[in-house]
Amino acid sequence: MRGRVMTAAHAASMVGAPVFGWDVGGAHVKVSVADASGVPCDVAQWACPLWQGLDHLERAIDHVFERWPEARAAAAQHVITMTGEMVDLFPDRAAGVRGLSGVLAARLGPRTRFFAGADGWLDAAACAEKWRAVASANWLATAQWLATRVPDALLVDIGSTTTDIIPVVGGRVVAQGTNDAARLVSGELVYQGVVRTPLCGVAHQIVFRDQTTNVMNEWFATSADVYRLTGELWPAHDQHPAADNGPKTEAASRVRLARMIGFDAADATETEWRRFAQRWRHEQLAILATNLSRVRVAHPALAGAPIVGAGCGRFLAAALAGHDGRDYIDFAVLAGVTPAGAQQADLAEWVATCAPGVAVALLAGTGIHLEVAQTA
């Protein structure tokens, strides 16, 4: 578990029932709380490998109750978005939505609602019929809230596993894809992240010591090893085991990176392995840049629009903005949290990392419901 403890002042500022915003993914559960003024005051994330069983979700809910006892109250409002329905625990996505919504509603109480985009907020019973609107809609929640703050923007949310690239034009979400399958086609969904992505999914060939070498198609190393060596991965975001279940240290990361090209860590210097990590970073950034270009070209109005960065890998979103000569806006700043002082910096980091959970809490707290312009 990671996050920031709600201060007494924030707790006192909560008027009426608090709003808890949930993003239930296949690998993590992220939960936020917004205060009466509509500003996030606490956020936390727990590792939750759903593919291993629903008991992991049950434990995550227990952690939420331990952190925020008021979340158990009948008056507590819980608003939820999800992507966890796609894990191979379930036979299909419809069953996943039914299963997750059923568990969550049973544990969280009668004021639990699920984000369904243009279909609004649904109870668990309605999720069974409208599961397509609920499934993997977390990107839409973030973009829908963002559209109330920045009329023209490219949302780039880079997480542990995936990247969402979402266009907002004229205060409306104009994504070409309405589901994961269509968004993979449009480039609005890219399975590249900064923690869990296997490096054999980043490049099949890579340069080492000025030579191009084939990459082993084995789960020897992940993107966490790369960003651990570049110094860009915040340790608190590194919540899953390493590829070999070994230590999450720079020395162990060098061992895992070396295996990708048939070397041992002792075969090169620390400097060479850091340089090699930068090469992997370059390859992953190029994949993201290609897909960003695809989305941008589809929307000429966004030629000079800023990039809004979210997710634990948003340092790459900032790099994309710099490469394109665009302004960069951090999601946490838009949400009213600036990194002034250590405590606020910690909160800002988690607000941006857990953007969909924050977004659903803010949307529900303000009663905002937007028209979403989408084409299949």
- Give residue 136's identity as a one-letter amino acid code: S
Non-local CB neighbours of 356 within 8 Å, separated by 6+ positions: 23, 30, 81, 138, 139, 141, 142, 157
Task: Please give the DSSP secondary-structure letter assigned to residue 306.
Answer: P
For position 340, what pLDDT does the model report? 74
Of residues 300, 254, 296, 255, the one with CA closest to residue 273: 254
| DSSP result, 106-162 | HHH-TTEEEE-GGG-EE-HHHHHHSHHHHTT-HHHHHHHHHTTT-SSEEEEEE-SS-
Nearest Cα to Cα of residue 124 among 89, 92, 98: 98
**Half-sphere exposure at residue 36, Cβ-oriented, CA atoms within 13 angstroms:** 9
Give the per-residue pLDDT at 338: 82
Low-confidence ranges of the chain (pLDDT < 70): 1-17, 342, 366-376
Residues forming a β-bridge with 28: 47
Structural domains for the chain: 2-141+334-366 (3.30.420.40)
Beta bridge partners of 212: 207
Q: Which two tokens stand for residue 106?
A: 């049973």
Q: For residue 101, which of 126, 132, 76, 119 has the smallest C-alpha distance? A: 126
pLDDT at 366: 67
Q: What is the pLDDT of residue 319?
A: 98
pTM of the model: 0.91
Give the C-alpha separation, 153 to 306, whole Å: 5
Identify whether the C-beta of residue 110 lies closer than 8 Å to the C-beta of residue 77.
no
